[in-house]
Amino acid sequence: MRPVTVLYTGGTIGMRPGPDGLGPDAAFEGAFRAAVTARDFHWLETPHLLDSSAMGPQDWQTIADLSRDISGGLVILHGTDTMAYTAAALSFLLHDLGAPVVLTGAQVPMQSDGSDAAANAELALDVAARSPRAEVMIAFGGALLRGNRAVKCHAQNPEAFCSPNFPTLNGAESVQFAHPFTGRQISPVGVLKLYPGIGAEALGGFAHLPGLVVEAFGSGNMPGEGTSFHAALMLARRRGQEIVVVTQTGGGQVAARTYAAGASVAQLGLIPGGELTTPAAVTKLGWLLAQGLRGDDLADAMARPVAGEMS
């Protein structure tokens, strides 16, 4: 058994009711220690306990910086809403991991009836203390998932996370990731989900961002040449914005050459995101942009698996 640190960042697991609804409880450590069987772990907290819907790249950075100073296994208590984004971000920001990093949380606060928190925490603590897997994972609802393959797929169920294109890790062999990138920051990236009738106006709010992930239809389809959406994408590319295309279907991958409606990807130099989930695409793109990669170098790096995020 290796030493374990628990890093509390906020989220439902430690929340209590307030006047406007549930909010993070700053005095959660005692309740957590009382609810789990493990006795011997260090406790740490981020400076601001947050509902994860309010987190962004700066918070991923804070968590990564704290995580780097920890030896042994790490359990990160986190809100479920954006847990998959933080997990994917950490999978890129943390290099040469020597021990497991396990994110968990709950759909129901630990201090409420019928909570899933203790079971999730026990699983995460056990993986952090014993697993040979030195990678970033999500332990939730009895499942152990690769962090950069996971998405939140239910708003209330205890089985809140899915791994659409990759099996769960429970019982699978452990692997070691090695890659040549050493970036420690993530640039801001937007996400645009296509909808029937989408036009140029949909891109307006993203103009200031260096990167954009487009959730296209099906295998990478979108309104093509002659549409205002296509013209707006072309302008965005001329401005230097880097655009990654993923599928909005929740499974499968971008295969943009299948239909003429996917031709914009090649025509406009959009980067096919393959089987990347949206959280993995956002964080990988932002991480590579922060390292100064652009154009073909960026496209090559996006296509190369770095931390198990694609096959």
Q: Strand, coil or helix: what is 222?
A: coil
Sequence-ordered list of residues with C-beta below 8 angstroms from that of 296, at least 6 positions apart, any chain: none
Q: Which is nearer to ligand ASP, 11 or 190 (CB)?
A: 11
Q: Strand, coil or helix: what is 285?
A: helix
Q: Give min distance, CB of 94 to ligand ASP, in A.
A: 21
The two structure tokens encoding residue 121: 């925490």
- Positive or negative: CA dihedral 299, 303, 306, 310: positive
Figure out which of the listed residues 5, 46, 67, 80 binds ligand ASP, where binding follows CB under 6 A: 80
- Does residue 190 interact with ligand ASP by CB under 6 A? no
Residues 36-75 close enough to bind ligand ASP by CB under 6 A: 51-53
- Does residue 176 interact with ligand ASP by CB under 6 A? no
Report CA-CA distances (Å) from 117 to 12, 38, 124, 240, 258: 9, 14, 11, 44, 44
Q: Give min distance, CB of 241 to ligand ASP, in A.
A: 29
Figure out which of the listed residues 81, 126, 215, 275 binds ligand ASP, where binding follows CB under 6 A: 81
What does R_g of the chain's alpha carbons equal in angstroms?
20
- Does residue 109 interact with ligand ASP by CB under 6 A? no
- Does residue 11 interact with ligand ASP by CB under 6 A? yes
Q: Give min distance, CB of 49 to ligand ASP, in A.
A: 10
- Does residue 279 interact with ligand ASP by CB under 6 A? no
> For ligand ASP, what does the binding mask look like between residues 17 and 36, x meaning CB under 6 A?
--------------------
> For residues 102-138, b (16+ Cβ closer than 10 Å) or e, as one string?
bbbbbbbbbbeeebbbbbbbbbbbbbbbebebbbbbb
Binding interface with ligand ASP (CB under 6 A)? 10-12, 51-53, 79-81, 105, 107
